[in-house]
Amino acid sequence: MHKNLRLLLIATLALHNLAHAADINIVEQAAEGGAAIVVTLGLSILFLAVSIERLMHFRARAIVPDGLVERVKPLWAAQDFTRLQQLLAEDDSTLARVIAYMVAHRQHGYAVVNSGAGDIASMELRMHQQKAYALAIVATVAPIVGLLGTVVGMIDAFHVIAFSEGMGNPALLAGGISKALINTAAGLCVALPALAMHHFLKNRQAFFGLALEREINSLIDEWFLQGDAAPQNLHVVSHAH
């Protein structure tokens, strides 16, 4: 029984020492990461700022608001273009601006309206895509900056071996390597969510582009075809990529 108690005590002490060794102060490690950590921190701030701005402004109500088509159809049927233009001016969305173009050029033929509407829609989608481009930059640059910081840290660690007591003091060498690797970890921690957000917004853009194309084609076919042979419908998504 004394033997089992002694083994239990030894195991408890070993677990305590292991837990103490694993208790890493992330903030302290990051502070010692060098200039690369500062650059990575700046990239993380850029990632957060762009993500918040895009999530706030790149929504369905800014591209294809619900119910807008249902509100404009009766006004178009009644030829009440004054109220229709006022309604569209109050709705700050891509679909509203496209319909406003259609109303302003209602005297022109299908081909002119179809081409102009497609240009407006694809241009606005490309503008939204450009505003999210910083996320692709962060996802690409952050791991490279982290790798550069790690390489510089490893050079310093091996410098310890060459010119000091690094080989005689493994803890000193391990500490230098740990400080170096924190740069890679920080770079990946910033790059992975940035890459995920970038693909999320690309998928959202494709979804909005398809919805916008469907609504615009429906209105143009209804208002401008008038029984004529239909040319090819506009393709908003293909222009937006």
> Is the per-residue pLDDT at 237 higher than 80?
no
pTM > 0.95: no
Residue 26 lies in a domain: no
Provide mean pLDDT across the span 63-70.
Answer: 92
SS3 readout for the chain: CHHHHHHHHHHHHHHHHHHHHHCCCHHHHHHCCCHHHHHHHHHHHHHHHHHHHHHHHCCHHHHCCCCHHHHHHHHHHCCCHHHHHHHHHHCCCHHHHHHHHHHHCCCCCHHHHHHHHHHHHHHHHHHHHHHCHHHHHHHHHHHHHHHHHHHHHHHHHHHHHHHCCCCCCHHHHHHHHHHHHHHHHHHHHHHHHHHHHHHHHHHHHHHHHHHHHHHHHHHHHHHHCCCCCCCCCCCHHHHHC
Residue 9 lies in a domain: no
> 46 versus 18: which is more confidently predicted?
46
Query: Per-residue pLDDT tens for 116-126?
Result: 999 999 999 99
Residue 14 lies in a domain: no
> Is the per-residue pLDDT at 20 higher than 50?
no
Provide mean pLDDT across the span 25-52.
Answer: 79
Residue 186 lies in a domain: yes
Q: What domain range includes position 219?
A: 34-240
Residue 27 lies in a domain: no
Residue 28 lies in a domain: no
When divided into structural domains, the chain yields a total of: 1
Residue 19 lies in a domain: no
Give the pLDDT score at 167: 54
Give the pLDDT score at 160: 66
Q: Which of 136, 155, 137 is nearest to 147 (CA)?
A: 155
Residue 209 lies in a domain: yes
Provide mean pLDDT across the span 202-210.
Answer: 94
Provide mean pLDDT across the span 64-69.
Answer: 92
Query: Per-residue pLDDT tens for 218-231?
Result: 999 989 886 444 44
